[in-house]
Amino acid sequence: MIHFEWPWLFLALPLPWVMRLLFPATAPAQDAALRVPFLEEFEEARSNTSHIKISHRVLWIAILAWLLLVLASTRPQWLGDPLTLPVSGRNLMLAVDLSGSMEVEDFELNGSQVNRLDATKAVAGAFIERRIGDRLGLILFGKQAYLQTPLTFDRETVYTLLNEAAIGLAGQETAIGDAIGLAVKRLRENDGGQRVLILLTDGANTAGEVEPIKAAELAASEHLKIYTIGIGADEMTVRSLFGTRKVNPSADLDETTLTAIADKTGGRYFRAKNTTEFEEIYHLLDQLEPVEQEKHLFRPSTALYPWPLGGALIIAALLLLERSWVRGKIPLNPPFSKGEAK
């Protein structure tokens, strides 16, 4: 169906007629009587100027241009059939660690060694793409926690901003408690629906103003469920001047605290030692039960105003060209064929 966004602008249709009544055209002045011996030339000039008078055809074309202009100003739109938007009722926030330890290359992706952040982008990016119907938000944290994306249905924006994240962007340390506190604050602003925070880190809380356990208690009071993910391999071979040796790159991972955070909020702690386990964790998170809400209806709309606006501009341009052409044919100084005025 056709819908007019501003239908009250149709009241402007009689505006030219009202203006003509309020400001009538000035009566033409009486021609001065002048006797000259070469009247034929004046008769010829008068016959040429008679083309300037507006004909009925031009008047109706001008009226059509005005009608199209008013029609365009009302913003006509074509409304499509109503579509049902899938809305789960879940408000899901992702908190991703950007501390310096995320630069350790102990994950394998497509046959190549990659650092922990690149593995997170690949696995979490696919997870974001599957979260149809969820409101998603993104928090990046290091020494401080920052809200990168507020809760939104725009999964593409969340995915893009996650891919643009860089190690050290928020500092080299890890403020887990501040990240949880920021998530609580932002999710508190959205009433209703299930509140979920997925917190991903590879270390322990080494910065921030809020202790992780205190932040978890606050989250539990706000009915925020937290799933924590500890990433990093248990064993990694490194080379040095004295040969190769095996080290534990996840020695700083505080699994005890991450487990306590999840338990206090009714969530669960996961350990991702490689890319396969990482993907399995996110597939398991996909099985969270949504809270049913009233379905949202959406009607796609297509703007139609460019068509009448374009028609009005084309007609106006043609009228101006015709007027210029008629005026160009009228000689300003008609030649005298039978003599010169003296």
Range of the domain at 49: 2-19+39-80+301-328
24 in a structural domain:
no
Backbone angles phi, psi at 79, to 5 degrees: -95, 125
Establish if 31 belongs to a structural domain: no
- Note whether 283 and 181 are same-domain residues: yes
Position 334 in a domain = no
Same domain membership, residue 290 and residue 305: no
pLDDT in tens, 76-93: 998 877 766 656 567 899
pLDDT of residue 58: 78
In angstroms, the CA 45 to CA 78 distance is: 53
- Separation of first and last alpha carbons in the chain: 73
Q: The pTM is what? A: 0.60
Let me know if residue 340 belongs to a domain: no
Give the count of alpha carbons within 13 A of 245, CB side only. 7
pLDDT over threshold 70, residue 243: no
Work out the mean pLDDT of the chain and round it to a whole number. Answer: 81
- Give the sheet arrangement for strand 90-97, strand by strand: 145-152, 135-141, 90-97, 194-201, 224-231, 268-272
Q: How many whole angstroms separate alpha carbon 329 and alpha carbon 331?
A: 6
Residue 265 and residue 135 share a domain? yes
Q: What is the pLDDT of residues 154-190, one digit of tens each?
A: 999 999 999 999 998 888 899 999 999 999 999 887 7
In this structure, are 70 and 110 located in the same domain?
no
In a domain, 49, yes or no: yes
**Are 75 and 90 members of one domain?**
no
pLDDT tens sequence across 264-276: 999 999 999 888 8
313-340: per-residue pLDDT in tens? 998 888 888 777 766 655 544 554 444 4
236 and 175, same structural domain? yes
What the block records as the tokens of 125 is 């990016």
pLDDT at 299: 72
Is pLDDT of 307 > 60? yes
Using the predicted structure, report yes or no on whether residue 39 has a pLDDT greater than 60. Answer: no
Number of domains in the chain: 2
One domain for residues 95 and 236: yes
Question: Could you tell me the CATH number of the domain that includes residue 202?
Answer: 3.40.50.410
314 and 224 share one domain: no
